Structure 1
Amino acid sequence: MRTLLKVMLSIAAIFASTFILGRVLGILTEDNVREWLQIASTLSALTVIAVVVALLAIDLFVAVPTLTIVILGSYFLGFEMGFAAAMTGSAIAAFGGYAICGRWGEGALAKVIRNEDERADMRGAFTSHGPGMIMLSRAAPILPEVTACMAGMTRMPLIRFAMFWVVGTLPYMGIAAYAGSVSTLDDPRPAIFAALGLYAAMWTGWFIYRKYWMKGGARLLV
């Protein structure tokens, strides 16, 4: 378990460095996202869709304000198109991370964890606890990308990863997209309440899962 946390923290540190760099350089901030989507909305709905998908897709490489993108995108597009764009962009990031780490992750892992027994223990720990981590990964920035990379690196079957990813991502994106679609500049309360509610629900889920996990019950998810 300690090895699993070490690897996840190492991956998280890489993503966090892009987040910090982006803030220092003043790129991919919430203000940037809002401005780009406003400009895109003056052109066409397809332009807004393209911007939303592109921003969420590059989240694999550079941390972006995901919830802001989904809410604002759905404000301009409406629920159906906003939700579809959000799921598409997020899927590109998630399955892209899975594929990249599935192809090259083992080699990188061997350089970080040289002991084969420790690597085997890490894979076993993620097999047991990875499903819960994937489903609740939207509780915090960077965690969705970290868990996607871990799934690929540990060779979790694609269909299994996809199932847990959909369970955790679809309701999150659906609620965020709906809140954005019914919000207005004069009444942003639906978006605000949705953001607060989503984070509260996810963190409550993490709290319950950790208690369940500590009792060994998470192994039933395998």
Structure 2
Amino acid sequence: MKTLLKIMLTLAAIFASTFILGRMLGILTEDNVRNWLEMASTLSVATVAMVVIALLFIDLFVAVPTLTIVILAGYFLGFETGLLAAMIGSALAAFGGYAICRKWGEGALSKVIRDPVQRNEMREAFSSHGPGMILLARAAPILPEVTACMAGLTRMSLRRFAMFWSVGTLPYMGTAAYAGSVSTLDDPRPAIFAALGLYAVMWAGWFIYRRYWMGAGPKLLA
């Protein structure tokens, strides 16, 4: 488990560095995202959808305010179209990270963890706890990208990853997109309540998972 945490923290540090760099340079901030979507909305619905998809895909390489983007997608595109654009963008990032790490991750991993026994232990640990991590990854920024990369790195089957990712992502995206679709500039309360509620539910899920699942070590999802 220590090896698994070491690799995940290394990946998290890499993604966090892109977030810090983006903030220092003043790019991909919430204000910038809002301005870009407002400009896109003056062109066409398709343009807004493409910007949403592109921003969420970029999240694989540079951390972006995902929840804000999804809420704004619902606001500018409506619930159904906003949700579709958000799911496409998030899927491109998630499965892109999975594919990259599945194909080229082993070489990098062998340089960080030279002991093959420790690498096998890491794979076994992620096989046991990875599904829960993927389901609850939306509880914190960066974690969705980290778990997607770990799934590819440990060669989790694409079908399993897709299943757990979908179950963990669709309700989150749906709630955020719907909240955005029923919010207005004069009444942003649905979006605010949705954001607070989503984080509360996801963090409660993490608390329960760590206390009753990871501690006991069952392998119901393995």
- Note whether the superposition's TM-score is higher than 0.5: yes
Partner of 2:64: 64
Identity of aligned residues (%): 78
Equivalence for 1:215? 216
Please state whether the residue corresponding to 1:205 is helix, strand or coil: helix
1:159-170 matches, cutoff 5 A: 159-170=159-170
SS at match of 1:60: coil
Equivalent residue, structure 1, for 2:112 = 112
Q: Which residue of 2 aligns with 1:138?
A: 138
Instruction: Look up the equivalent residue of 2:145 and give its one-letter code.
Output: E
Q: Which amino acid aligns with 1:57?
A: F
Matched residue, 2:102: 102
Mapped to 1, the partners of 2:217 and 2:12 lie a distance apart of 25
Residues 81-126 of structure 1 deviation map (CA, whole Å, 9 limit, x = unaligned)? 0000000000000000000000000000000000000000000000
Q: TM-score, normalised by structure 2?
A: 0.99
CA distance in structure 2 between the aligned counterparts of 1:62 and 1:76, rounded to whole angstroms: 23
Task: Return the offset for 1:75.
Answer: 0.2
Tell me the equivalent position of 2:28. Answer: 28
2:140 and 2:151 map into 1 onto residues whose CA distance is 17
Residues 30-59 of structure 1, C-alpha deviation per residue, up to 9 Å, x if partnerless?
A: 000000000000110000000000000010
Specify the SS of the correspondent of 2:185.
coil
How far, CA to CA, are the matches of 2:131 and 2:217 in structure 1?
14
Q: Return the alpha-carbon distance in structure 2 between the equivalents of residues 88 and 73 of structure 1.
A: 12
Matched, 1:203 2:203: yes
SS at 1:172 equivalent: helix
Q: CA deviation at 1:221?
A: 1.1
Letter of the 1:156 partner, please give it.
Answer: M
Shift of 1:139: 0.1
RMSD in angstroms over aligned alpha carbons?
A: 0.4
TM superposition score normalised by structure 1: 0.99
CA–CA distance in structure 2, aligned partners of residues 14 and 87 of structure 1: 24
How many residues are aligned here?
221
Structure 2 segments unaligned to the other structure (5+ residues)? none
Distance in 2 separating the partners of 1:42 and 1:117 = 57
The 2-side partners of 1:194 and 1:215 are apart by 32
Cα distance, 1:73 vs. partner?
1.3
1:74 Cα deviation after fit? 1.0
Which residue matches 1:91?
Answer: 91
Structure 1, unpaired ranges of 5+ = none
